[in-house]
Amino acid sequence: MKIILTALIMVSIITITFLLTMMISKKSMMSREKNSPFECGFSCMSSARKPFSSHFFMIGMLFLIFDIEISIMLPMTSTSLVNMQEWMMSSITTMMILICGLINEWKTGMLEWSK
C-alpha cells in the first residue's frame, strides 16, 4: 500500500509541475517562422533531402575509427595495472589492421575528392 501511495504522490507532483510550467512559460503560438529551421539567419531555399557525398561520409568514418582507437589506447599507457608488453603487442596489431585498411582505401581511390 505504501508503494502505491508513494507512486501516486510522485505522479501527482510531476503532473502539477508540468501543468505549472505550461501555464508560466512565455512560449506563444507557433508560426511559420518559428517552425522553420534556423540556418544562420537565412531562409531555407531548398529541400533538406539532398544526397550527401559518400566520400565525405567515408572520411568521417575513417576519422571516427582512428579517433576511437586512439582514445582507447592512450589512457592505457598511464595505468600501472597494464602489462606493457601485452599492451604494445595489442596496440601494434590494432594499428597494423587500421593501417592496412587505410592503405586499401587509398589504393581503391576512396580518399580522392574528385574523380
Q: Which residue has the higher pLDDT, 115 or 110?
A: 110
Instruction: Give pLDDT, residue 39.
Output: 62
How far is it between the farthest Cα atoms of the chain? Answer: 71
Give the pLDDT confidence of 67-111 residue by residue, as tens digits. 887 777 776 666 665 677 777 787 788 788 888 888 887 888 777
Phi, psi for residue 94 in degrees, rounded to 5: -65, -45
Residues 6+ apart with CB under 8 A from 69: 94, 95, 98
Taking alpha carbons only, the member of 85, 87, 62 closest to residue 72 is: 87
- Higher per-residue confidence, 108 vs 13: 13
Domain residue spans in the chain? Answer: 54-108
Higher pLDDT, 11 or 82: 11
pTM listed for this prediction: 0.41
What is the SS3 assignment for 42?
strand
Cell of 75: 589512457
Distance CA 115, CA 110 (A): 10
User: For residue 48, what are the contacts with CB-CB under 8 A and spacing of at least 6?
Assistant: 37
Name the amino acid, one letter, at 56.
Answer: F
Coil/strand/helix, residue 39: strand
